[in-house]
Amino acid sequence: MEPVQVERFYLGCLAHASYFISSRGVAAVIDPQRDVEIYLEAASRQGVRIEHIIETHLHADFISGHRELAERTGARIFMGEGSGAQFPHRAVRDGDRIEFGNCVLQFLQTPGHTIESVCVVMTDKGQPGRPKAVFTGDTLFVGDVGRPDLSPNHTPRQLAGLLYRSLHEKLLALPEDAEIFPAHGAGSLCGRQMSAESSSTIGKERRSNYALQARSEEEFVRLLTESLPPRPEYFARDAELNRQGAAPLDQLAPLRGLSAGEARRLQSEGAVVIDTRPAIQFGAAHVPGAVHVALAGQYASWAARVLGLDTRLIVCAEDAEHVRESQVRLARVGIENVSGYLEDGISGWIGAGYPADSIPQIGAHDLAGLLETGRERTVVLDVREPQELAGGAIDGSIRIPLGELAGRMGEVDGSKTVVAHCKGGYRSSIATSLLRRAGFREVANLTGGFDAWKAAGLPYSLPEAGAAG
Q: Are 194 and 143 in contact (CB under 8 A)?
A: yes
Q: Are 142 and 224 in contact (CB under 8 A)?
A: no
Catalytic-residue membership of 422: yes
Question: Can you tell me the distance from the alpha carbon of 266 to that of 55, in angstroms, rounded to the nearest whole number?
Answer: 39
How many alpha carbons fall within 13 Å on the CB side of residue 244? 9
Question: Can you tell me the distance from the alpha carbon of 129 to that of 161, in angstroms, rounded to the nearest whole number?
Answer: 30
The β-bridge partners of 5 are: 22
- The amino acid that residue 118 corresponds to is V
The β-bridge partners of 137 are: 182
Out of 119, 190, 316, 422, which one is annotated catalytic? Answer: 422
Give the pairing type, strands 338-342 and 313-316: parallel
Question: Can you tell me the distance from the alpha carbon of 31 to that of 52, in angstroms, rounded to the nearest whole number?
Answer: 11
Q: Are 275 and 290 in contact (CB under 8 A)?
A: yes
291 Cβ contact partners less than 8 Å away, ≥ 6 residues apart? 272, 273, 274, 275, 306, 307, 430, 433, 434, 437
Instruction: Please name which of 426, 421, 187, 430 lies closest in space to residue 307, comparing C-alpha atoms.
Output: 430
Type and span of the H or E element at 99: strand 97-100
65 Cβ contact partners less than 8 Å away, ≥ 6 residues apart? 32, 33, 34, 35, 36, 246, 249
Catalytic residues: 422
